[in-house]
Amino acid sequence: MKKKRNRSRPTEPFEVRLQKFARDARAAARRLPLGRERDALMKKARQTENVLDVSAMLAVRHADAANER
């Protein structure tokens, strides 16, 4: 018999966790001296913010499509 996987669900929505990650990455990058590591963290923060923007646009489109039905 298989054991059941002990999995806990995240307590916060995905968007909130993404916002925290972007904020923390940007803050960590500010503490670093100029260089590759700082650039990489800033890039990750920007990419995460872009994901949040796209997610928000899709949510609006989905809500609009649902209202048209």
Question: For the segment 10-47, what is each residue's pLDDT rounded down to a tens digit?
Answer: 899 999 999 999 999 999 999 999 999 999 999 999 99
In a domain, 8, yes or no: no
In a domain, 44, yes or no: yes
Residue 25: predicted pLDDT: 97
Provide the domain count of the chain: 1
Range(s) of the domain holding residue 21: 14-68
Structure tokens at 49: 């913010």
- pLDDT classification of 56: cutoffs 50, 70, 90: very high
Query: Is the four-CA dihedral 61, 64, 66, 69 of positive or negative sign?
Result: negative
In a domain, 25, yes or no: yes
In a domain, 4, yes or no: no
**Contact 42/26 with Cβ under 8 angstroms?**
yes
Residue 41: predicted pLDDT: 97
Compute how many other C-beta atoms are within 10 angstroms of the C-beta atom of residue 28. Answer: 15
